[in-house]
Chains A and B, each alone.
Chain A
Amino acid sequence: MAAAESPAEQAGDQAGQSAAQRAAQAGTIAIRTKALTKRYGEFTAVDKLDLSVKQGEVYGLLGPNGAGKTTTILMLLGLTEPTSGTARVIDLDPARNPLAVKRHVGYLPDAVGFYGGMSGRQNLRYTARLNSIDKKVADERIDNLLTRVGLARAGDNKVDTYSRGMRQRLGLADVLVKDPSIVILDEPTTAIDPAGVIEVLELVRELARDGAAVLLASHLLHQVQQVCDRVGIFVGGKLVAHGTMDKLAGELGTGPIEIEIQAGPELEAVRRVAAAVVGVTRAELDPRDSRTVVAFAESDVRADLATALVQAGHPPSHLRRRGDELDEVYRRYFAANEPAPAAEVAA
C-alpha cells in the first residue's frame, strides 16, 4: 500500500489531486446522471437512468449482458453522446468536455486489449505518454503498479505471451497509470481464475479506500457483491432497483422463505421432522436435488430446524436459506423483468 501511495502523491499535481486529497473529499458526488437516455433507432439501450456514485465508494452496476451497462459507461466517458438527459462526471459534462473527463477517469474496457508486440511496460508507457505524464514520474509509477498487480517480473515480456488473467491485471495497472480519481471497470472479473478474482477485488477495495470512486459493471454479481458498497440492478436499460445489498435483500424478503436441508439419506424421515417444526408450513423433497429436503416457512426457523433434526437423530450437514444472497435477488428481478428480445440481440 505504502509503495503504491508514494507515486500517486508525487504525481499529485499532475492529475489534479493526490490520493490523500481525494480521501479527504470522500463522500462528494463523483458521477451523477439525470434521465440519461440512449436510443439506437427504435431500440432504447439506456432508459432514463438516474445514478450517483460518491468518492470513496464502490458502486456495482449489475445486469445481464446487453442491459446497457457498456453504453452507459461510454456516455460517462464522452465516447457516445446521450440521446437525452445529462451526465456529470467530477462536475464536467463528458459530452462537451471529454478530454478533461478522460484525464480523471480510468476506464478498463470489457475484454481489454493490448499491443501484443510490445511488452507490458511499453504498453503502460504509451498510455502515460497519451496522458502527457512526465517520463520520470511515469516510469516510477509504472514500476510500482506492475508490482502492485503482480506483474513485476513479466513486465518486460511481450503481451502476446500473457495469459488472460495477466492481461486483465495489466489492464488494471493501465487504468491506474493516470492516477484517476474515478475508476470505471467493465466486467473486470470475467475470464480470470478464482484466485485472480480475489486479487482484483482486493485492489478495487484499496482504490475506494484511497478515495477513488469506483463504478464496477458486471454480470457476475456473486463475485462482485462482496466489494460493492451499493449496487444497482440494471435490466433492459432500466435501473430496476438500487441501494445497499441488505436493502435489496430486504425488499424481496417478504413472503415465505425456503430452507434447504441435507441430513443423511433418510429423506422421508427428515421431511417429517422438518414439517413438524413450528412455523414450517410444509416440507417436501427437492425435485431438482435428490439429497435435499425443502422446508417452506413464514420466518427464518433454521435454528429450530437444526435443534429438531439433531434431537430426531438426523444431524443436518447443510442448512441454507434460499433467497438471501444477491444472485437470488438478481434472479428474481430478472424473472420479474424479462429483458426484451431486442436487448438479447444487442448483447
Chain B
Amino acid sequence: MTGSDAATLPGDATTRGRRRKKLRNQPGTPAPAERPVAAAEEERGLRAGWRVIAAKEFSDHILSIRFLVLTIILGLAAAAAVYATAGAIRDLASDASGSPSLFLKLFTVSRGDIPAFTTFIAFLGPLLGIAFGFDAINGERAEGTLPRLLSQPIHRDDVINGKFVAGLSAIAVIFTAVTLVVTAVGILQLGILPEPEEIARLLIWVVLAVTYVGLWLAIALLCSVVLRRAATSALVAIAVWLLVTLFATLVVGLIAGFIAPIPADAGQGSAEVLRNTALQQELARLSPSQLFEEATAAVLDPSIRTLSPGLVTAAQADRAIPSILSLGQSLLVIWPQFVALVAATAVMFALAYVSFMRQEVRA
C-alpha cells in the first residue's frame, strides 16, 4: 500500500530472526547477492499480510451465523437485565435521586432473580471469545486452506495475528452495540442522561470487557492451534470456561480451608479468619472472571473504595469518610486487575503464537 507498510515488514519477527541467523552462519561474508532483490521487492510496497487476513476474517465473523446468534443472546440478556433494573431503580428513585452515578446503576444493580447486565457479560463473555476463536487454525487445516494460505507471500505469524485482531474487532463491535442499546433503553426508561464522567466510565468498562473476552479468544486460539479437531477444541475451551466461572469459588474455599484452617473457637476478625479470607481472595483472583467482576464493580460504582472489603476491619471502615471516588481514583483501584487481565491475555496469545510458529505446515 504505502511506504510505511513496506517499512514495517522487514522488521517482522521471523525475518529478523533469519537475518540474525544468517549473520551468525556466515561471519565476515559480504551481503549476499539475494539481498538487493528482496530489498527491491520490499520497496515496491507489500500490503501487510495480517491486515488482509484480518479484513477477510472480520467480514466472515460479521456475516456468520454465530455472530448473529450471539448478538441476539447478548441483546436479549441485556434487554431483560435493563428492564428489570430500570424498574428497581425507579422504585428507589426517591432516595437515590442524589446519587451521582444513578445512570451506571442501570448496568450493575440486579433485582431479585434477574442478574445485572455486567453479571451477564462476565458469565457469557467467555462464550463470545470461544466462539470466535475455537476453529481459527484447525478449521483452516480441516478445510485444507492452510497450506495454500501459507504459500502466499505473507509471514506465518500474519495468519494468527490477523485472526486475533479480527476476533477482537468482532467482539468490540458486539459490546459497543449492546452497550449502546442498553444506554438508549436506560435513557428512555429512566428519563435521565448520563454525565460525561459516566460515559467515560462506560467506555473504560467496554475496554475492560473486550480485554476480558480477548483473554478467552486467546485461550480458544491456543486450543485451535494445539487440537486438531474443531469440536475437541470447542469442548476443551468450554470446559475451561465452566471450570473457571462455576467451580472456581468452590475449589478456592476448599484450598483455603486446607492451607489456612479456621479453628472452631476463632472469633470474628481473628488472625486465622483474616488469613483465610485473604488467601481465598488471592486464590480467587487467579480466575479472570473474578478480576473482571472486581474491576467492573469499581469502575462502574464510584462509591467502591477498595476491592478487598473482607480485609477492612470495622475500625478502619469506621474512620473512612463516606465519599465518592473520582474517575482517576477508581482507575487506580482497578489498575492491578486490568494489568493482570492484559498480562493473562498476552501470555495466552504468546502460547498460541509460539505453538503455531513451531508447528509443521502439514498435519
Interchain residue pairs with CB less than 8 A apart (28): A16-B41, A71-B362, A74-B361, A79-B151, A79-B361, A91-B33, A91-B34, A92-B38, A96-B21, A97-B37, A98-B14, A99-B38, A99-B46, A100-B34, A107-B147, A107-B148, A107-B151, A109-B148, A113-B143, A113-B144, A113-B146, A114-B148, A126-B52, A129-B47, A129-B52, A130-B152, A131-B152, A132-B153
7 residue pairs, one from A and one from B, having the closest CB atoms: A113-B144, A109-B147, A107-B151, A130-B152, A113-B143, A103-B153, A102-B153
Q: A97-B34, A99-B154 are in contact. Are A174 and B22 (CB under 8 A)?
A: no
Q: How far in angstroms is the closest Cβ of chain A from B106?
A: 38
- B49 → chain A closest CB, angstroms: 6
Judging by beta carbons under 8 Å apart, are A114 and B362 in contact? Answer: no
Tell me the smallest distance from the CB of A164 to a CB of chain B, in Å: 11
Give every chain A residue within 8 A of B21 (Cβ-Cβ).
96
Asked whether any CB of chain B lies closer than 8 Å to the CB of A116, the reply is yes
Given A80, A96, A114, A117, which contacts B360 in the complex, CB threshold below 8 Å?
A80
Point out the residue from B33, B47, B151 that lies within 8 Å of A77, measured CB to CB: B151
Complex CA gap A103/B134 in Å reads 30
A65-94 contact mask (Cβ, 8 Å, vs B): 1 or 0: 000001100100101100000000001110
Chain A residues whose CB sits within 8 angstroms of the CB of B60 once the complex forms: 115, 117
Chain A CB within 10 Å — which of B21, B53, B362 has the most? Answer: B362
Give CA–CA (A46, B15) in the complex, Å: 25
Interface string of B119-151 (1 = CB under 8 A from A): 000000000000000000000000111111111
Render B45-63 as a binary contact track against A, CB cut-off 8 A, 1 for contact. 1110100110010001000
Name the CB-closest residue of A to B9.
A99
> What residue of chain A has the Cβ atom nearest to residue B152's Cβ?
A130
Bound-state Cα–Cα, A77 to B33, Å: 19
The distance from the CB of B302 to the nearest CB of chain A, in whole angstroms, is: 46
> How far does the alpha carbon of A103 sit from the alpha carbon of B40 in the complex, in Å?
13
> Which single residue of chain B is at the shortest CB-CB distance from A91?
B34
Partner of A132, one of B33, B46, B148: B46
CB <8 Å contact, A79 and B34: no
Q: Within 8 Å of chain B (Cβ to Cβ): is A95?
A: yes
For the complex formed, measure the closest distance between the CB of B141 and the CB atoms of chain A, giving whole angstroms. 9
Establish whether residues A113 and B145, one from each chain, have CB atoms under 8 Å apart when the complex forms: yes
User: Which residues, 156 to 199 on A, are CB-close (under 8 Å) to B?
Assistant: 171, 174, 178
Contact A130 B52 (CB under 8 A): yes
B18 within 8 A of partner (CB): yes
CB of A115 within 8 A of CB of B145, answer yes
Please give the residue numbers on chain A whose beta carbons come within 8 Å of chain B beta carbons, in ascending order. Answer: 16, 70-71, 74, 77, 79-80, 91-93, 95-100, 102-103, 105, 107, 109, 111-117, 126-127, 129-132, 171, 174, 178
Query: Which residue of chain A is the closest to B52 with respect to CB atoms?
Result: A129
Query: Which residue on chain A has the smallest CB distance to residue B12?
Result: A99
What's the least CB distance linking B27 to chain A, in Å? Answer: 16
Tell me if B's interface is mostly helix, strand, loop or mixed.
Answer: helix
B152 touches A79 (CB 8 A): no
How far apart sit A132 and B34, CA to CA, in the bound complex (Å)? 21
Query: How far is A341 from B34 in the complex, measured between Cα atoms in Å?
Result: 40
Q: How far is the CA of A77 from the CA of B149 in the complex (A)?
A: 12
* Residue B275 at the chain A interface, CB threshold 8 Å: no
B105: CB under 8 A from chain A? no
B155 interface hit (Cβ, 8 Å): yes
How far is it, in angstroms, between the C-alpha of A129 and the C-alpha of B56 when the chains are bound? 10
The residues of B that contact A113 with a CB separation of less than 8 Å are 143-146, 148
> B38 and A97: CB pair below 8 A?
yes
- In the assembled complex, the Cα of A91 lies from the Cα of B32 at a distance in Å of 11
Asked if A112 contacts B38 (CB within 8 A), the reply is no
**Chain B residues whose CB sits within 8 angstroms of the CB of A126 once the complex forms:** 52, 56
Q: How far is the CA of A129 from the CA of B154 in the complex (A)?
A: 11
Within the complex, the shortest CB–CB distance from A204 to chain B, in Å, comes to: 18
The 8 A CB mask of B149-169 against A (1 = contact, 0 = none) is 111111100000000000000
Chain B positions within 8 Å of A99 at CB level? 9, 15, 38, 41, 46, 153-155
Specify which of B143, B147, B148 is in contact with A116 (CB 8 Å cutoff): B143
Residues in chain B near residue A102, CB distance under 8 A = 151-154
Interface residues of B in 54-96 (CB under 8 A from A): 56, 60
Q: Given A80-B360, A100-B41, does the pair A112, B144 have CB atoms closer than 8 Å?
A: yes
Cβ of B49: which chain A residues have Cβ within 8 Å of it?
130
Q: Are B37 and A100 in contact (CB under 8 A)?
A: yes
A109 to B152, CA, bound (A): 12
Least CB distance from A146 to B in Å reads 17
In Å, the complex CA distance between A117 and B61 comes to: 12
Bound together, the chains give a CA A196 to CA B170 distance in angstroms of 41
B45, B145, B153, B361: the one within 8 Å of A80 (CB): B361
Docked complex Cα distance between A16 and B46 (Å): 13
Q: How far is the CB of B53 from chain A (nearest CB, A)?
A: 8
Q: Given A114-B143, A115-B145, does the pair A132, B18 have CB atoms closer than 8 Å?
A: no
Give, as a whole number of angstroms, the nearest-CB distance from B40 to chain A. Answer: 9
- CB contact under 8 A between A79 and B38, given known A113-B143, A129-B47, A130-B52: no
Q: Which residue of A lies closest to B361 (CB)?
A: A79
Contacts of A111 in B (CB 8 A): 144
Contacts of A105 in B (CB 8 A): 151
Tell me how far the C-beta of B230 lies from the nearest C-beta in chain A, rounded to whole angstroms. Answer: 14
Residue of A nearest to B46 (CB): A132
Central interface residue in B60, B148, B361, by most chain A CB within 10 Å:
B148
Within the assembled complex, what's the spacing in Å between the Cα atoms of A111 and B155? Answer: 22
- Given A99-B9, A102-B154, 14 additional A-B pairs, CB 8 A: A70-B362, A74-B361, A79-B151, A80-B361, A92-B38, A98-B155, A100-B38, A109-B144, A112-B144, A115-B60, A129-B47, A130-B49, A132-B46, A132-B47
In the complex, A178 Cα to B153 Cα: how many Å? 10
A114 adjacent to B152 (CB under 8 Å)? no
**Cα-based distance from A117 to B37 in the complex (angstroms):** 38
What CA separation (Å) do A174 and B151 show in the bound complex?
11
Which of A79, A91, A96 counts the most B-chain CB atoms under 10 A from its CB?
A96
Q: Which residues of A contact B15 (CB under 8 A)?
A: 99
